[in-house]
Amino acid sequence: MKAPTGLDAFDVPLETLRARRSAKWATYPDDVLPAWVAEMDFELAPPIRAVLLDAIELDDTGYAEPGRLGSAFAGFASARFGWSVEPERVWVAADVMSAAVEVLRSFTSSGDGVVVNTPVYPPFLKSVPEIGRRVVEVPLVPDSGRWELDLDGLERAFAGGAAAYLLCNPHNPTGRLLGRDELAAVAELAARHGVLVVADEVHGPMALPGATHTPFVSLGEEAAAHGVTITSASKAWNLAGLKCAVIVAGSAGMQEQLAERLPKSLRFHAGHFGVLASVAAFTEGAAWLDALIEHLDGNRRRLGELLERELPAVRYAEPEAGFLAWLDCRELGLGDDPSAPFLERGRVAVNPGPTFGSPGRGFVRLNFGTSSSLLEEAVRRMASTLDHA
Ligand SMILES: Cc1ncc(COP(=O)(O)O)c(C=O)c1O
pLDDT tens by residue, 27-81: 999 999 999 999 999 999 999 999 999 999 999 999 999 999 999 999 999 999 9
Give, using CA atoms, the residue closest to atom 14 of ligand 1.
38
Mean pLDDT of 274-288: 98
Between β-strands 348-349 and 324-328, what pairing exists: parallel, antiparallel or unpaired?
Answer: unpaired
Give yes or no for residue 3 having a pLDDT over 80: no
38 lines ligand 1 (CB under 6 A): yes
Q: State the virtual CA torsion across 41, 371, 232, 77 in degrees, nearest 10.
A: 150
Q: How confident is the model at residue 387 (pLDDT cuts 50, 70, 90)?
A: confident
Does any ligand 1 atom lie closer than 6 A to the CB of residue 234? yes
Which residue type occupies 375?
L
Span 195-218, average pLDDT: 98
Torsion sign, CA atoms 93, 98, 99, 101? negative
Show the beta-strand stretches assigned E in the chain. Answer: 33-34, 90-93, 113-116, 134-137, 141-143, 146-148, 164-168, 196-200, 227-231, 245-249, 315-316, 324-328, 348-349, 351-352, 363-367
Cis amide prior to 173 (ω within 30 degrees): yes
Report which secondary-structure segment, H or E, holds 180: helix 180-193
Q: Is 232 in the pocket of ligand 1 (CB under 6 A)?
A: yes
% of the chain residues with pLDDT over 70: 98
To test the pocket of ligand 1, the residue of 24, 36, 97 to mutate (highest count of ligand atoms within 8 Å of its CB) is 97
Centre of ligand 1 to C-alpha 240, Å, is: 8
Least confident stretch, 89-98, 142-151, 376-385? 142-151
Pocket perturbation via mutation, ligand 1, pick of 176, 202, 275, 355 by most ligand atoms within 8 A of CB:
202
Q: Whose CA is nearest to atom 1 of ligand 1?
A: 172
**Residue 283 near residue 50, CB atoms below 8 Å:** no
Q: How many degrees, rounded to 5, is the angle at CA 260 between CA 271 and CA 89?
A: 55
The average pLDDT across 255-265 equals 97
**In the prediction, which pLDDT does 388 show?**
67
* pLDDT tens digits, 125-163: 999 999 999 999 999 999 877 899 999 999 999 999 999
pLDDT score, position 132? 98
How would you classify the pairing of strands 90-93 and 245-249? antiparallel
- pLDDT over threshold 50, residue 187: yes
96 CA → ligand 1 middle, Å: 6
Cα–ligand 1 centroid distance for 244 (angstroms): 11
Ligand 1 atom closest to residue 98's alpha carbon, by position in its atom list: 11
Q: Output the CA–CA distances (angstroms, integers) from residue 214 to 2, 100, 112, 282, in the order listed.
A: 38, 19, 28, 17
Instruction: Tell whether ligand 1 has an atom less than 6 A from the beta carbon of residue 278.
Output: no
Give the predicted TM-score (pTM) of the model.
0.97
| Closest CA relative to residue 64, chosen from 41, 37, 93 | 93
Task: Name the band, by pLDDT with cuts 50, 70 and 90, for residue 340.
Answer: very high
φ, ψ of residue 103 to 5 degrees: the values are -65, -45
Q: Looking at this protein, which amino acid is placed at residue 296?
A: L
Measured in angstroms, how far is the CA atom of residue 241 from the centroid of ligand 1?
11
Cβ within 8 Å of residue 377, ≥6 positions away: 33
Q: What is the largest CA-CA distance in the chain?
A: 60
Which of 374, 332, 325 is closest to 25 using CA atoms? 374
Q: How confident is the model at residue 120 (pLDDT cuts 50, 70, 90)?
A: very high
Return the pLDDT at 372: 97
**Does ligand 1 lie within 6 Å of residue 245's CB atom?**
yes
Separation of CA 253 from chain center: 27
- How far, in Å, CA of 57 to CA of 375, rounded? 36
CA-closest residue to ligand 1 atom 7: 96
Q: How far apart are CA 337 and CA 378, in angstroms?
A: 17
Ligand 1 in contact with 321 (CB < 6 A)? no
For residue 240 and ligand 1, the question of a CB distance below 6 A is answered with: yes
- DSSP assignment of 45-66: PHHHHHHHHHHHHTT--S---G
C-alpha radius of gyration, the chain, whole number: 20
8-state DSSP, 158:
H
As separate numbers, helices (DSSP H) first and strands (DSSP E) second, the chain gives 14, 15
Residue 103 to residue 87: CA distance in whole angstroms:
19
Question: What value, to the nearest 5°, has the Cα angle with vertex 140 and ends 135 and 144?
Answer: 165
Give percent of the chain with pLDDT exceeding 90. Answer: 96
Is 1 a residue whose pLDDT tops 50? no
The amino acid occupying position 69 is: L
202 Cα: distance to centroid of ligand 1 (angstroms) = 6
Pair 35, 366: CB distance under 8 Å: yes
SS3 track for 287-353: HHHHHHHHHHHHHHHHHHHHHHHHCCCCEECCCCECCEEEEECHHHCCCCCCHHHHHHCCCEECEEH
DSSP 1: -
